[in-house]
């Protein structure tokens, strides 16, 4: 069954010129990029995206990081793409992410208040639908 998911190449990935690498890995896996946007995220967009984290101690540093530069929002389609991309991305912490994953190969701990881990991927089909609606209005 074909699904859609949201992939974000976060500001650290954009700054490090990893957009093409991330998209190439998605495409080599056999998924299809069906829409792509270069976005300067606003506080409003990020508050909507991260609504479950509003008020948590890491919320403000996360929003500041995500507003620190452009983000590339990518709509990706394929069978099992939500779970498949999360596997391709690797563990949230790049220090423990497995080699061969995006975060394992390209990320590292920079000792900052927020983990800069290159990419975001929706965690469920419900989240994907909600997040795609936010980033691709």
**Apex CA 43: angle with CA 39 and CA 44, to 5°?**
90
Q: Are 121 and 6 in contact (CB under 8 A)?
A: yes
Q: Are 103 and 119 in contact (CB under 8 A)?
A: yes
- Distance CA(59)–CA(114), nearest Å, equals 9
Catalytic residue annotation: 120
């Amino acid at each position: 069954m074909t699904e859609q998911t949201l992939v974000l190449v976060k500001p650290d990935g954009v700054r490090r010129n990893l957009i093409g690498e991330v998209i190439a890995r998605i495409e080599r896996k056999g998924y299809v990029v069906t829409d792509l946007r270069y976005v300067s995220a606003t506080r409003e967009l990020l508050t909507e995206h991260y609504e479950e984290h509003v008020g948590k101690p890491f919320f403000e540093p996360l929003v500041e990081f995500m507003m620190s530069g452009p983000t590339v929002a990518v709509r990706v389609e394929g069978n099992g793409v939500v779970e498949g991309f999360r596997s391709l991305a690797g563990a949230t912490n790049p220090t423990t992410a497995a080699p061969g994953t995006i975060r394992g190969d390209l990320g590292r701990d920079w000792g900052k208040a927020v983990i800069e881990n290159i990419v975001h991927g929706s965690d469920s089909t419900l989240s994907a639908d909600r997040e795609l609606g936010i980033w691709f209005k």
